[in-house]
């Protein structure tokens, strides 16, 4: 992928897209395909599909200590390391150095970031689920937060559009709380998962069921992009997929945008301000700092799309001050930076089973099982202890002893262990909805500046009473389902140390959509209420969180907003 050889400062752009991740890639593709000359900016380095995935083909024995993080890595990435998995030596290069990119915590927040072209689309979990009208109606019905300005019927065609382009494998179920989609053939459940599925259907009468995860992996045919082909079942996705089997900006939306001839891509461009013209009552462009030279530049365009991630886009808006917006662009409501949400998890149950000791699996399926939400959907599913609901991810694996005991990774013990499959282990890990709360916020600290002289982010957010009450049920129901299957050593868990926000890597809500400019930042088309040529389409627009992984929703809303922006531009130019 090549950036334009033209000088962007001397060009007139129709649109500027800030960020190249899940949302930014889609904004670039849609705007470019609609004929808009588009400047795409990313604060990080260039990552080229395939050639910049240096560890994609390495085995554990190809790396020191089997790829486990070194003491130096843990020191420099001490906040990224809280996840327990992103700092592995074969994937750490896609995540930030916490010493170079600091942030502050009034209350703990695990902000997991990747600063490069493609953003976290290279490392995401790829679970792809639609929100339903249970989600879009929830705030209004519960009297919590504010009402979404749209309903499922408004976004359903865009879910269709996105799924058909990126390639999502899964199973249609006919559930109101988890709408069906345009799916490729589902990946297979293994024998233990099929057994658990059968027993859940047999023992529970509240509509709960088990299915394979809906995941953005090509399981048949090809999809648009740079040679995208079917999944090879290597499960090395977070290193970058050289086959383009899972959806990423680098393999899919960005090359599609580039093919139009309308995209100019500029890496190492830290956007810190959207420029607002008080006379025109519109944004006229953005100001950037070169990440390497620290030179400042201003670019101009008719439309701005902020897709830098919930926290980064809101940081840019908070820094974008003018006479009209002294507290940040679009912050008339005072809600900018507030209502942070993230899914809470690391709670559920695990077990062992010897029911299928004569069975094994083939390949390394880059996916798990999913149990959709079955609480507070009406009738017998309603509970009094908490509002909203949760779903489960997880699955069954048969680990080798060499994967459990470090000392068996080498030598003659390894040779013997390879020939002896380990026992079956089963886990159900819940993901629960977090309610919007004005007191959960991020703000900027101008006394603590980063290496580029910009204010650092401070987090002041945590889960509330509703989430804590939900966690009890998450654990109890997981135990019951595993016990219903006749598994052994069933044990519930709730990792108290991992309850902090951010660890789900689903940060949302800091510039929420709404019907009323007095209580929201964006309108139903993702436009800033008082500056309608600025669109925000990453997780910051979310008005409530649902319990489903949100990336598919970001993509659908981005495609919808880009279509609206292109139509508005045509009207203005007519």
pLDDT, tens only, 48-67: 999 999 999 999 889 888 89
The half-sphere exposure of 54 on its side-chain side, counting CA atoms within 13 A, is 9
**For the chain, percent helix, then strand, then coil, each to nearest 5?**
30, 20, 50
Distances (CA, A) of 169 to 4, 160, 196, 216, 233: 35, 13, 21, 6, 13
Sign of the dihedral through C-alpha 240, 245, 247, 252 = positive
Question: What is the spatial distance between Cα 329 and Cα 273, in angstroms, rounded to a whole number?
Answer: 9
Are 551 and 309 in contact by the 8 Å Cβ rule? The answer is: no
**At 118, phi and psi to the nearest 5?**
105, -25
SS3 288: strand
Kind and range of the H or E element at 203?
Answer: helix 191-203
Question: What is the spatial distance between Cα 569 and Cα 574, in angstroms, rounded to a whole number?
Answer: 9
The per-residue pLDDT for 412 is: 66
Strand 38-41 versus strand 263-266 pairing type? parallel
Token representation of residue 276? 């607002």
pLDDT, tens only, 286-319: 999 999 999 999 999 999 999 999 999 999 999 9
**CA dihedral defined by 114, 119, 121, 122, rounded to 10 degrees?**
-60
pLDDT at 404 over 70: no
Q: Got the DSSP string for 312-335?
A: HHHHHHHH---SS-TTSTT-TTS-
Question: What is the spatial distance between Cα 510 and Cα 477, in angstroms, rounded to a whole number?
Answer: 32
The per-residue pLDDT for 400 is: 57
The per-residue pLDDT for 496 is: 83
Q: Name the strands in the sheet holding 347-353, side by side, starting at the edge strand that comes first in the sequence.
A: 211-212, 369-371, 390-400, 421-432, 347-353, 488-494
Token representation of residue 535? 């669109």
SS3 72: helix
Q: Got the DSSP string for 484-511?
A: HTT-EEEEEEE-GGG-SBTTTS--B-TT
pLDDT, tens only, 243-288: 999 999 999 999 999 999 999 999 999 999 999 999 999 999 999 9
Q: List b or e across 410-426, with b for residues whose CB sees 16 or more CB atoms inside 10 angstroms.
A: eeeeeeebeeeeeebbb
Are 217 and 169 in contact by the 8 Å Cβ rule? The answer is: yes
Cα 278 from chain centroid (whole Å): 35
Give the residue among 43, 165, 48, 181 at the shortest CA–CA distance from 115. Answer: 43
The per-residue pLDDT for 12 is: 83
User: How sure is the predictor about 402, in pLDDT bands with cuts at 50, 70 and 90?
Assistant: very low
Average pLDDT over residues 348-368: 94
Kind and range of the H or E element at 543?
Answer: none
Question: What is the spatial distance between Cα 22 and Cα 548, in angstroms, rounded to a whole number?
Answer: 16
Distances (CA, A) of 476 to 180, 483, 500: 28, 11, 21
Question: What is the spatial distance between Cα 552 and Cα 389, in angstroms, rounded to a whole number?
Answer: 19
Q: Got the DSSP string for 118-172?
A: TGGGGT---B-----HHHHHHHHHHT-S---S--HHHHHHHHHHHHHHH--B---
Question: What is the spatial distance between Cα 100 and Cα 361, in angstroms, rounded to a whole number?
Answer: 42
Give the residue among 517, 533, 527, 530 at the shortest CA–CA distance from 560. Answer: 527
CA angle 88, 426, 369 (to 5 degrees): 80
User: How sure is the predictor about 193, in pLDDT bands with cuts at 50, 70 and 90?
Assistant: very high
pLDDT at 401 over 60: no
pLDDT, tens only, 8-46: 667 789 999 999 999 999 999 999 999 999 999 999 999
pLDDT at 232 over 80: yes
Are 248 and 241 in contact by the 8 Å Cβ rule? The answer is: yes
Structural domains of the chain, with CATH: 10-50+92-149+241-342+437-462+505-574 (3.50.50.60), 170-213+344-432+464-499 (no CATH)
Token representation of residue 332? 């008339």
Question: What is the spatial distance between Cα 265 and Cα 258, in angstroms, rounded to a whole number?
Answer: 9
pLDDT, tens only, 408-453: 455 666 666 666 778 899 999 999 999 999 999 999 999 999 999 9
pLDDT at 355 over 60: yes
Are 25 and 249 in contact by the 8 Å Cβ rule? The answer is: yes
pLDDT at 519 over 90: yes
The per-residue pLDDT for 572 is: 85
SS3 553: helix
pLDDT averaged over every residue in the chain:
94
Average pLDDT over residues 139-150: 98
pLDDT, tens only, 63-87: 888 899 999 999 999 999 999 889 9
The per-residue pLDDT for 499 is: 83
Are 25 and 38 in contact by the 8 Å Cβ rule? The answer is: no
Average pLDDT over residues 462-482: 97
The per-residue pLDDT for 110 is: 96
Question: What is the spatial distance between Cα 222 and Cα 34, in angstroms, rounded to a whole number?
Answer: 23
pTM of the model: 0.96
The per-residue pLDDT for 415 is: 65
């Amino acid at each position: 992928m090549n950036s334009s050889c033209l000088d962007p400062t001397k060009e007139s752009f129709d649109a500027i897209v800030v960020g190249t991740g899940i949302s930014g890639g889609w904004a670039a593709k849609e705007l470019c395909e609609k004929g808009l000359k588009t400047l795409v900016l990313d604060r990080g380095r260039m990552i080229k599909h395939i050639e910049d995935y240096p560890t994609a083909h390495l085995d554990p024995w190809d790396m020191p200590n089997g790829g486990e993080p070194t003491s130096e890595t843990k020191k420099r990435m001490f906040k990224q390391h809280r996840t327990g998995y992103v700092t592995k030596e074969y994937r750490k290069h896609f995540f930030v150095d916490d010493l170079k990119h600091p942030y502050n915590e009034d209350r703990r927040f695990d902000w997991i970031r990747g600063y490069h072209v493609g953003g976290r689309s290279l490392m995401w979990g790829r679970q792809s689920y639609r929100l339903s009208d249970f989600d879009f109606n929830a705030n209004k019905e519960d009297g919590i937060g504010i009402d979404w300005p749209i309903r499922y019927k408004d976004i359903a065609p865009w879910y269709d559009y996105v799924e058909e382009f990126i390639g999502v494998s899964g199973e249609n179920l006919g559930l109101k709380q988890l709408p069906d989609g345009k799916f490729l053939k589902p990946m297979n459940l293994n024998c233990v998962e099929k057994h658990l599925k059968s027993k859940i259907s047999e023992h529970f009468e509240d509509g709960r069921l088990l299915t394979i995860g809906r995941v953005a992996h090509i399981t048949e045919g090809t999809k648009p992009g740079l040679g995208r082909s079917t999944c090879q079942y290597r499960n090395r996705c977070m290193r970058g997929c050289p086959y383009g089997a899972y959806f990423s900006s680098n393999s899919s939306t960005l090359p599609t945008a580039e093919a139009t001839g309308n995209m100019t891509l500029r890496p190492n461009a830290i956007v810190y301000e959207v420029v607002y013209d008080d006379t025109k009552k519109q944004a006229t462009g953005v100001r950037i700092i070169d990440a390497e030279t620290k030179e400042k530049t201003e670019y101009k365009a008719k439309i701005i799309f902020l897709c830098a991630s919930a926290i980064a886009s809101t940081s840019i808006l908070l820094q974008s001050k003018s006479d009209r917006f002294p507290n940040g662009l679009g912050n008339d409501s005072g809600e900018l930076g507030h209502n942070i949400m993230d899914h809470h998890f690391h709670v559920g149950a695990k077990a062992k089973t010897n029911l299928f000791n004569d069975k094994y699996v083939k390949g390394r399926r880059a996916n798990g099982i999913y149990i959709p939400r079955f609480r507070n959907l009406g009738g017998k599913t309603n509970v009094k202890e908490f509002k909203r609901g949760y779903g489960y991810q997880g699955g069954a694996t048969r680990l080798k002893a060499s994967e459990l005991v470090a000392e068996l990774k080498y030598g003659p013990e390894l040779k013997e262990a390879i020939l002896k499959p380990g026992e079956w282990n089963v886990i159900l890990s819940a993901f629960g909805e977090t309610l919007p709360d004005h007191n959960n916020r991020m703000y900027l600290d101008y006394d603590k500046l980063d290496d580029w002289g910009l204010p650092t982010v401070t987090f002041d957010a945590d889960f509330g009473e509703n989430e804590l009450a939900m966690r009890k049920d998450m654990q109890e129901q997981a135990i019951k389902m595993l016990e219903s299957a006749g598994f052994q050593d069933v044990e519930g868990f709730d990792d108290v140390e991992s309850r902090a926000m951010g660890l789900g890597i689903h940060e949302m809500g800091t510039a929420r959509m709404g019907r009323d400019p007095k209580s929201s930042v964006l309108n139903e088309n993702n436009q800033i209420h008082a500056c309608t040529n600025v669109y925000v389409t990453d997780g910051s627009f979310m008005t409530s969180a649902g319990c489903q992984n949100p990336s598919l929703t970001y993509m659908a809303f981005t495609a919808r907003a880009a279509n609206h922006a292109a139509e508005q531009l045509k009207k203005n130019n007519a």
